[in-house]
Amino acid sequence: MTELGAYLKEQREALGVSLEQVQSTTKIQKRYLLAIEEGEYDKLPGAFYARAFIKTYAEALGLDVDEVFSTYRRDLPEPEAQPAVELSRRATYSKSTAPKKSVAKRWIPNIIIIALIVGIGVGIWWFIQNLGNSAEPSTSSTPEPKVTVEEKDAPEEKTEEPAEKPAEEPKEEVKEEVKKPLAPKTTVGQDVTYEIKTDELLDVKVAIKKDANPSPFVGIRDTSLEGPALAPDHISASDKNPMVVNDAKTNLIRIRVGSIKGIEEITVNGQALKLDTGLMVQNIYVKKVAP
């Protein structure tokens, strides 16, 4: 077993995730995952796939892939050498070797085209001039007599002035109060604690991104990892989304997240939490305090 395989196995067991669950999340066969943990890379399809499988495995556990590759670079399989391909040379001809046409031969077609255009233009002008001279003058039209109609005095119409409408009082604009996301109270390692002021029972909603790859592991429990589960754990994209807990009779809820970048939003009693996306694996504690 390599140090890299031992580290990945240790992180997986710390999250309480089985190889079957990692297989469901990453779509990598269990025998390949076991070969990675045992350091038996010869059982994998090749060095390229081995490095890709290790990267996907580490992401599923919420680890920093760059840091893992840098720390355990000696345990990574060497990339396969690509065969060199020799390109065939193609014969090229410079412009100087191409036969050049004489200046006279090149200009003869252009001179013929210009002469045709000039001839057509002269013909059109001559046709317009003859057409204008042969046209007969048009007969002048006699002006039509104007008929004036005497208007009789029409009775004046009385218009009633509209009654003045009472001035409307300006309406007061009602501004909706927008709740800002709840910031963490304390952060110690992977433990992030939030405090929410309320006397009501706790309602929790965890929305997971539909396009998250890999799909994050999420577990909601009462107080600690050993406490009773308040909702079925989310292991793969086919599990229930969003995760909802209503009327939790506890003053402290623990939300274990395996990959925080796959979480779209976490709300408690309608109050959104301000998540720290820089910490991949988190133990999110939501503590109820008196308002």
| pLDDT in single tens digits along all 291 residues of the chain | 789 889 999 999 999 999 999 999 999 999 999 989 998 888 888 878 888 999 998 999 999 999 989 898 888 877 765 554 444 444 444 444 445 555 556 678 788 888 888 889 888 888 887 776 555 554 444 555 554 545 455 455 555 655 566 566 666 665 556 679 999 999 998 899 999 999 999 999 999 998 888 788 888 988 755 678 888 888 888 888 999 999 988 889 999 888 898 899 999 999 999 999 888 889 999 999 999
Strands 263-268 and 271-272: antiparallel
Q: Can you say whether residue 12 is alpha, beta or left, with left for phi > 0 and alpha for psi between -120 and 50 degrees?
A: alpha
Query: What is the token pair recorded at 119?
Result: 């001839």
278-220-179 Cα angle (round to 5):
60
How far apart CA 281 and CA 4 sit, in angstroms, is: 19
- Nearest Cα neighbor of 253 from 235, 227, 214, 290 is 227
Q: Can you say whether residue 105 is alpha, beta or left, with left for phi > 0 and alpha for psi between -120 and 50 degrees?
A: alpha
Residue-level pLDDT at 213: 82
What contacts 196, CB < 8 A, 6 or more positions away? 182, 202, 268, 269, 271, 286, 287, 288, 289
Instruction: Match 């589960």 to its residue by tokens.
Output: 229
Q: Are domains 3-75 and 186-289 of this chain identical in fold?
A: no
Q: Do 277 and 261 form a contact (C-beta atoms < 8 A)?
A: yes
In one-letter notation, the amino acid at residue 87 is: L
What contacts 251, CB < 8 A, 6 or more positions away? 287, 288
- Longest CA–CA separation in the chain, Å: 118
* 3-class secondary-structure state, position 264: strand
Q: What is the pTM of this model?
A: 0.45
Residue-level pLDDT at 41: 87
> Could you tell me where the DSSP H helices lie in the chain?
3-15, 19-26, 30-38, 47-60, 65-71, 103-134
How far apart CA 214 and CA 16 sit, in angstroms, is: 17
The residues facing 219 across adjacent strands are 256
CATH architecture of the domain covering 3-75: Orthogonal Bundle (1.10)
Q: 186-289 has which CATH code?
A: 2.60.40
Q: Can you say whether residue 60 is alpha, beta or left, with left for phi > 0 and alpha for psi between -120 and 50 degrees?
A: alpha
Strands 243-248 and 202-208: antiparallel
How far apart CA 133 and CA 221 sit, in angstroms, is: 104
Domain boundaries, the chain: 3-75, 186-289
